[in-house]
Amino acid sequence: MYRSNESSKTLAQATAVAPCTTHPTTHDHEREFLFTEQDFERIRKLIYERAGIALSPIKRDMVYSRLARRLRATGIRTFGEYVRYVEQGDPAELEAFTNSLTTNLTSFFREEHHFPLLQEFLRPRMQKGNINIWCSASSTGEEPYSIAMAVAELYGFIPNHVKIIASDLDTNVLDKARQGIYSPDRLAKVPEELLRKYFLRGHGMPEGHAQVRPDLQALLTFRQINLLDATWPMRGPFDAIFCRNVMIYFDKPTQYRILEKFVPFMAPDGLLFAGHSESFHHAADLFKLRGKTVYALTENAMQRACRSERR
């Protein structure tokens, strides 16, 4: 979920940049479906309310391209009609609408410097018992499976007391992640040694494809979670939370609300892993930089986490 570098402007600010009009542009006359500025603004409002995504005005063509597929699938002839249909709240179409507008750029061992840091962090915790990790934007699974492989390499075997929650808003990518089947281009960044250890080839799969071994998959539990929901259907504490290349999709107030909600879910000495282009200076009361795009709780936030852990 959430893999695109969006403007950090609020929705209101972005709207001020591109005022609403009900008139299609000349370019729109050449399109299959009528798509007005008013339609675009209503879509921006819907996806912001649903997923916190602040679409910038330059994303207009992207929105048309992705949602045009939904118009064809539903048989609806204009974007105005489609937006009204979504606004009526049909759960299945609202989910399809949200899935269409989330971007899922990911790969195995992306931000590769994080995985040795994770191993170094977990090493002194290996004897403590259960270890819990949350990958909060798992997309098609490459990130949580990379975490699982890093953990297995640390232990020298696949430990059954390490649990990884792999969540995403997009139900389509979660289905792909659960299957754990990847094409050769997706596997290109996985070292050959790890491919031999943790993937199965053949077994009726297309040539070059491989599937994650069931015992490695057993470390992961996949869940649909919207980071904007008032409550999250799980319990902490988590030793590590991965929320990488996610916050860039939200405006600053939304980022802060999510970061604030992470605090009671973290172990007091836990780590938060962020993306390479993300910075949490605006949440300096909650998180302090521990390493390259790796954060720990501040003293005040740690006290809150301790109180949550005791409950």
Query: What are the structural domains of the chain?
Result: 11-101 (1.10.155.10), 114-310 (3.40.50.150)
CA–chain centroid gap for 203, Å, is 30
| Contacts with 283 (C-beta within 8 Å, 6 or more apart), sequence order | 255, 256, 259, 260
Q: Which pLDDT does position 207 carry in this prediction? A: 82
Pairing state of beta strands 294-297 and 287-291? Answer: antiparallel
Residue 154: φ, ψ to 5°: -65, -45
The mean pLDDT value for 140-155 works out to 96
Answer yes or no: is pLDDT of 310 > 60: no
CA–chain centroid gap for 22, Å, is 33
The mean pLDDT value for 68-81 works out to 91
| CA-to-CA separations, 22 to 65, 67, 71, 168, 221, in angstroms, rounded | 19, 18, 19, 34, 45
Q: For this structure, is 168 an active site residue? A: yes
Of 157, 143, 71, 79, the closest CA to residue 112 belongs to 143
Answer yes or no: is pLDDT of 118 > 60: yes
Q: For this structure, is 28 an active site residue? A: no
Of 168, 170, 239, 251, which one is the catalytic site residue? 168
Residue 200: φ, ψ to 5°: -115, 135
Pairing state of beta strands 199-201 and 181-182? Answer: unpaired
Of 28, 31, 50, 66, which one is the catalytic site residue? 66
Q: Position 124: which residue type?
A: P
The mean pLDDT value for 80-102 works out to 86
Answer yes or no: is pLDDT of 12 > 80: no
* Cβ neighbour number for residue 184 with a 10 Å cutoff: 11
